[in-house]
Structure 1
Amino acid sequence: QASPEHRPRPGVSASELGQYPPERIRNFSIIAHVDHGKSTLADRLLELTGTIQKGHGAQYLDKLQVEKERGITVKAQTATMFYKHTVENPESHGTDSSSYLLNLIDTPGHVDFSYEVSRSLAACQGALLVVDAAQGVQAQTIANFYLAFESNLSIIPVINKIDQPTADPDNVKAQLKRLFDIDPSEALLTSAKTGQGLSQVLPAVIERIPCPPGNCDSPVRMLLLDSYYDEYKGVICHVAIVDGAMRKGDKISSAATGRTYEVFDVGIMHPELTPTGVLYTGQVGYVITGMRSTKEARIGDTLHQAKTIVEPLPGFKPVRHMVFSGVYPADGSDFEALSHAIEKLTCNDASVSVTKETSTALGMGFRCGFLGLLHMDVFHQRLEQEYGAQVISTIPTVPYIFEYGDESKVQIENPAALSFNAGKRITACWEPTVIATIIIPSEYVGPVIMLCSERRGEQQEYTFIDANRALLKYRLPLREIIVDFYNELKSITSGYATFDYEDSEYVSFSI
């Protein structure tokens, strides 16, 4: 039962927000391997602070239908919580309690959405690294740990699901020590399902994670974390205020496009949009400025007070598309409807690239670039579910680079485009590769090495995590992975392998 002061409040006034200087604000995210209990933990923390009512059903922050059906998180979501933290004061032999503003940013766990993770981490000073007590450290845990580590975040390890009969927290602590050099005494043991150990999570966040750095008195400067399109309000941008304060009616400019906008509405996600009229230094919230499309709201852009010159904040790496596939209407006459559906969907998912193309067999359609196979799957599923479009998609391909005799280079995403330059002689060609991290029980090492060498892989690293699990690192051509590598890997390891990859450079090969 939430105590009276933690009950949800209808609105939050500007004067209330003004009581939280940067020293009393903590911005943190939750990172983990798929299915280690991130979204459930986020739910429990929201219930604990009275931000949402108990028993509201499934994962609160997973709002898309795709996310509910597959049980995965695709879009990062933010929620603001208020929490009273009590510390014992040794001088007066009493307790001091002060209220803190905590911003929780829930992130996706899949490889394809790691750009969402890196964006979310840019607004945080710390992260909860959630590890399943029974499964231990998995491939995605390692990838996410290094993302957070490179962003200089304070990392709090949380060993979750300790209520399971097969849980072995001591073994997991040993793995954390061996792989990441994390002191075992720092790990928190919790079970988000039964609620055991949750009361120590938020105090740990307040004590171990630093407050946001920022200057309250300088002109406003903020980082654009995410944007999506709402039919009634236009483009809604999620921002993290780095310096200064932003009020309703202010004029702000974008560092990337140079356009100026007026702030129509500003507030926090608590967890629904809650207008406050102002956002102060270090706070994370939303702003509505009357932008027409999400193309204007570039993720990672710096928004600042109009007519001032500021240094843009370091943004994110631009998205690299790794898988290309043609999307055609099932019925040739539906091209307009499909075009409209894709335009609306790319308003909410700016990480898909779209170009028109025609095919002799399928007629007019689009060539779409995706971050990975799951991303492509989710995109098709959302087209069908949310926009009712019936589509045919072609086999995915990867981008190649060809060099001709006159030293000109061309990037080709569609095999049909090669024949146009029939007169020129091709002298060299490059294909994209990835560095794959595979974690498997040690009895499957032989078959997995066989599989990787069949797929033209070169071994980079081979180590043992503990007595019965091995970690392999391979450089593999991307085109060998995108069709059925993951399915093969899962079937030869009886489903025990975890697999994660990051983009690497182009390598020359012979056609």
Structure 2
Amino acid sequence: MEKLQLNDASLVFFPESSAALGFGFRCGFLGMLHLEIIQERLEREFDMTVITTVPNVSYKAYTKKDPVNFISVNNPSDLPDPSMLDRVEEPYIKASIITKSDFVGNVMSLCIEKRGEITNQTYLTPERVELNFDMPLAEIVFDFYDRLKTVSKGYASFDYAPIGMRTSKLVKVDILLNGNQVDALSALIHADNAYGIGKKICEKLRQLIPRQQFDIPIQAAIGAKIISRETIKALRKDVTAKCYGGDISRKRKLLEKQKKGK
């Protein structure tokens, strides 16, 4: 990382450890493209296998005991206990999007979905429109730019500038595998989106984790409340392997016996 930093001054990193992933680095990038370039260079030039977690931003948490001084939250595990939490502030940006007038509806729907608030709409020409939004930085660091280009067929241009911190209703969503919390999969998400994102993560993990000799429950939880669950079923013995052809009722009978646990 230090060798990379010699010819890329915009790369920032700090040592960090995780219970699930072990020792690693928390890195700061200019954007998703910069992240992909650094990852590619580490793999190609230094022959290293790199695991990257979901990009996130830093938050400010205030406790009820000390509502003036903030605690910097770089990782969901740094968030204080919900019973002690007064409020959480997240960074906001002023986004400026210039697009063709045909795509105004699509662009506005995307920005509102990402918790954006429209502040201004200006027609530069009959064909070109400038839209201004106040949006959370956390909503644009992952896939916003790609989706913006998709909904505008590549015509929209996007620029933004930070405008400070604002209070938001954020919750910590934990992922539990077989009852054990995996801190690397935890995320700070707005309360309105928590159920949908938790459900998607559980469904995706069910597809990715291989089956074992026992059932594996995958749960998304906010505190002690489970908001979504998927189960990876245990591997079962192939009881029909000894049946070569013959009547289907024989196979069905063996499968019914297995279902009853015999």
TM-score with structure 2 setting the length? 0.60
Which residue matches 1:403? 62
Alignment of 1:477 onto 2:129: no
Q: Provide, for residues 310-337 of structure 1, a one-character-per-residue CA deviation record: whole Å limited to 9, x for no partner.
A: xxxxxxxxxxxxxxxxxxxxxxxxxxxx
Which residue matches 1:417? 78
Cα drift, residue 379 of structure 1: 2.0
1:165-184 aligned within 5 A: none
Amino acid at match of 1:433: Y
* Native 8 Å contact 1:404 1:424 kept in 2: no
Which secondary structure does the structure 2 equivalent of 1:406 belong to?
coil
* Native 8 Å contact 1:400 1:431 kept in 2: yes
Which secondary structure does the structure 1 equivalent of 2:40 belong to?
helix
Alignment of 1:379 onto 2:23: no
Greater relative CO (CA pairs within 8 A, separation 6+): 2
Q: Distance in 1 between matches of 2:30 and 2:83?
A: 32
Instruction: Pick which of 455-464 and 377-386 moved more.
Output: 377-386
Alignment of 1:351 onto 2:42: no
Cα drift, residue 397 of structure 1: 0.8
1:49-448 aligned within 5 A: 342-407=1-66, 408-418=69-79, 421-422=80-81, 425-448=84-107
- Over 3 Å counting, the alpha-carbon distance change for 1:429 and 1:423 in structure 2 is closer
Q: Provide, for residues 261-297 of structure 1, a one-character-per-residue CA deviation record: whole Å limited to 9, x for no partner.
A: xxxxxxxxxxxxxxxxxxxxxxxxxxxxxxxxxxxxx
Q: Provide, for residues 199-244 of structure 1, a one-character-per-residue CA deviation record: whole Å limited to 9, x for no partner.
A: xxxxxxxxxxxxxxxxxxxxxxxxxxxxxxxxxxxxxxxxxxxxxx
Cα RMSD of the aligned pairs, angstroms, is 1.7
- Over 3 Å counting, the alpha-carbon distance change for 1:362 and 1:385 in structure 2 is same
Q: Which runs of no fewer than 5 residues in structure 2 stay unpaired?
A: 171-262
Q: Provide, for residues 403-425 of structure 1, a one-character-per-residue CA deviation record: whole Å limited to 9, x for no partner.
A: 0112231111111222xx43961
Amino acid at match of 1:410: I
Amino acid at match of 1:391: V
Q: Distance in 1 between matches of 2:53 and 2:143?
A: 15
Q: Distance in 1 between matches of 2:25 and 2:12?
A: 10
Amino acid at match of 1:492: V
Which secondary structure does the structure 2 equivalent of 1:503 belong to?
strand
Alignment of 1:501 onto 2:160: yes
1:434-473 aligned within 5 A: 434-473=93-132
- Over 3 Å counting, the alpha-carbon distance change for 1:463 and 1:357 in structure 2 is same
Q: Provide, for residues 341-381 of structure 1, a one-character-per-residue CA deviation record: whole Å limited to 9, x for no partner.
A: x1111122232221111222222111112232222222222
Q: Distance in 1 between matches of 2:35 and 2:46?
A: 16
Q: Distance in 1 between matches of 2:65 and 2:29?
A: 31
Which secondary structure does the structure 1 equivalent of 2:124 belong to?
strand
Which secondary structure does the structure 2 equivalent of 1:383 belong to?
helix
Amino acid at match of 1:405: K
Q: Distance in 2 between matches of 1:386 and 1:461?
A: 46
* Native 8 Å contact 1:431 1:477 kept in 2: yes
**Which of the residues 150, 157, 173 maps onto 1:491?**
150
Q: Which runs of no fewer than 5 residues in structure 1 stay unpaired?
A: 1-341
* Native 8 Å contact 1:435 1:476 kept in 2: yes
* Native 8 Å contact 1:437 1:500 kept in 2: yes
User: What is the number of residues matched between the two proteins?
Assistant: 168
Percent identity reads 40
Q: Provide, for residues 420-444 of structure 1, a one-character-per-residue CA deviation record: whole Å limited to 9, x for no partner.
A: x439611111001111111111011
TM-score with structure 1 setting the length? 0.32
Which secondary structure does the structure 2 equivalent of 1:391 belong to?
coil
Amino acid at match of 1:382: R
Q: Distance in 2 between matches of 1:409 and 1:350?
A: 29
